[in-house]
Amino acid sequence: MTKPTAAEPWLDRVRHSVRGAVPALKRAWPLGLPALLVVILLVPAALLVAPGFLGPESPPPAPPALEWQQVPATLSPARGLAPLDVSAGIPLASGITAQVEPVLKADGGGNFTGLVQDALTGAVLFDRGGSEGRVPASNMKLLTAVAALRSLGPERRFTTTVVQGPAAGQVVLVGGGDALLGAGESNADAAMGHAGLATLATRTVEALKAAGTTGELKVLVDDSLFTGPALNPAWESGDVAAGEVAPVYPLALNSARFDPAVTTGPRPQDSAITAAAEFASRLRTAGAAAGLTVSAAVERSPRPATVEAADMAVLAAAESATVAEQVDLMLQASDNYLAEVLGRMASLAEGGPGSNDGATAAVRAQLAGAGIDVDGATLVDVCGLAMGNRVSARQFTEVVRAIAAGTDSRLRAALDGFPVGGLTGTLDTRYGEDSTARGAGLVRAKTGTLNTVLALSGYVVDADGRLLVFSFIGNGLTPGAAGNKVALDRAATALAACGCR
């Protein structure tokens, strides 16, 4: 038998103690369980309540700022684009031709004509059928921009007025050429909606209230500023149905769009009545507290509401964005409706009629006044939607040259309107592929697109710092052929990347 060790008596005592404690725990368990549960519940509750007494924990210390995150001790000097170097050499015509000729190819049917000039000297650097009259599509808007800026001036604004009607209880909304009216409050920082019908309605109510007018009002609209057909017969019915343009009036909401954010699809077919109906709605809201009610029906005024008439006092007025701002919007968005309105306003400014014929005559006259040879050009509209227009690439380069480098400083206002390759306007989604990426941010040009027509006219600064103007026009093209826009963009990119001396 093994002899017990010295530790065994101690172990016996531990076993004896454990055996004695177990019955005691069993007897105490029913009383201790509730207390244990209370403790379990109170601990998390205390953790939730404690921050209310103790306050939130202090946030951990922020890591030290990296050097590039430090607040600068001094500001960098303001920098802008460096002026063009007039000593930059003119590229060789042979070098430009070698770069442009291989890439300016039609994808399928049709062909491209084109012309490139040095902006300062007018030297022709590339010429492929540059004097041939072509369907220009929306490049036509460049001509309209020149006419509007010359005849109206960059700072001119158009006024929409409200006058007393020919009978008691009538007010007349008078169109003054603003096609960019907004439905809400006037927005001084925007071209679209610069003048708002809600603001005009509030001012009208204030004037009526001051005159003690109460009772029911009826809104009439005077759109007599424009004459002749509201819809150009040269426009394809399919283009009108698709919302490319609409009947033209001297006032419109959102450039004759139901929603300024939706620039495709059907348009209001009577923008004057549409604007008047919206004004009546805003007048109804504004006049409720002044005891005025407004009839839901709107009508055309039976006679022009000339503001000089003694019985038709002006109640309120709102001014549009400047002509320069409207020209920029027209070029960036290629807005057909706005172009047609500006063309008619250019005609009126020179004493002509506010009609399509007046607009085309005014554009032709203003181009001639700017020293641009318009012989051989045919103008059927001023937005470029009509297939009957004929303008040469040479005429377009001369227009761009007059805007970018001519002596008439009024035309400089159009420069901001040229879309920038890969960034803005109708060029925002182009110049993204490898063959055109070098033109992104450098090519500034007006686009033109019809079913079988593509055009691009604008300007670039080449690799040597020389300002070049260009126009490329494709006619008879295969509809939808993907390579045609790319051909235009590659040709313009070749100019931007060229150091062709």
Instruction: Locate the domains of the chain by residue range.
Output: 93-153+327-331+351-497, 159-321
| H/E element, 330 | helix 323-333
Residue 390 predicted with pLDDT over 70: yes
Considering the candidates 141, 218, 446, 485, report the single residue annotated as catalytic: 141
Q: Max Cα separation, the chain?
A: 139
For residue 141, indicate whether it is catalytic.
Answer: yes
**pLDDT band at residue 245 using 50, 70 and 90 as cut-offs:** very high
pLDDT at 144: 98
Reading the block at residue 313, the tokens are 């006092």
Reading the block at residue 168, the tokens are 């008691």
Strands (E), 273-345: 292-300, 314-319
User: Phi and psi for 145 in degrees, rounded to 5?
Assistant: -60, -45
**pLDDT band at residue 303 using 50, 70 and 90 as cut-offs:** confident
Burial 103-137 (b: 16+ CB within 10 A, else e): bbebbeebebbbbbbbbbeeeebbbbbbeebbbbb
Residue 26 is which amino acid? K
Measured over the CA atoms of residue 456, residue 460, residue 463 and residue 467, the dihedral's sign is positive
Residue 31 predicted with pLDDT over 50: no
Reading the block at residue 171, the tokens are 């007010």
Considering the candidates 255, 281, 334, 355, report the single residue annotated as catalytic: 334
Q: d(Cα 205, Cα 208) in Å, to the nearest integer?
A: 5
For residue 17, indicate whether it is catalytic.
Answer: no
Q: Tell me the pLDDT of the chain averaged across its residues.
A: 87
pLDDT at 87: 77
Q: Which CATH architecture has domain 93-153+327-331+351-497?
A: 3-Layer(aba) Sandwich (3.40)
Q: Of the ranges 1-15, 135-149, 262-276, which one carries the lowest mean pLDDT score? A: 1-15
For residue 138, indicate whether it is catalytic.
Answer: yes
| Residues 496/456, Cβ–Cβ less than 8 Å | no
**pLDDT per residue over 50-98, tens digit each?**
444 444 455 555 555 555 445 556 555 444 345 666 678 899 999 999 9
User: Phi and psi for 67 in degrees, rounded to 5?
Assistant: -60, -40
Q: d(Cα 138, Cα 365) in Å, to the nearest integer?
A: 19
Strands (E), 273-359: 292-300, 314-319
